[in-house]
Structure 1
């Protein structure tokens, strides 16, 4: 199996905006089956990935909550208020779909 070679091509494809779809396309051209030979995981659960086959496993971040928190922080800092939080950890979730599995 040429999985290592196609994994390298997928790493290069990850620089593209639609990286999971690009990785899938590179893999298909090389005869690598997703998810039987290679699992693919996207990031941010972008709407552009919705029609992709197989449906991509992806992470999801609460973007509206993150934007509201960033706005509150920026406004507070603008007022000269100190930020006493040690860090922010948004509730990121994993949505498992058809692009991941146990390798055959």
Structure 2
């Protein structure tokens, strides 16, 4: 008989996806609260105050508040991150931002 024990969010997340792509939508749980998250990415650019344009990756995170309403959070990430690294950043988003 086999019995599995999961004590960290990463234990669950490893079961969901083995291949990563910037075009996929991912379903994860927050690393602290275990709140369900829906995460997708977009590549874009941001303008700086000095007029230069910098490439960025945007992580869009959908979650539900305590009343069951859908809410969104947007993270601006470095374009050098891999998809797996970007997902790690998204599941560690500050819990205060998810309220």
- Is TM (by shorter chain) over 0.5? no
Larger Rg: 1
Structure with bigger strand share is 2
Q: Give me the TM-score of the superposition, normalised by structure 1.
A: 0.28
User: RCO (CA 8 Å, sep 6+): is it higher in 1 or 2?
Assistant: 1
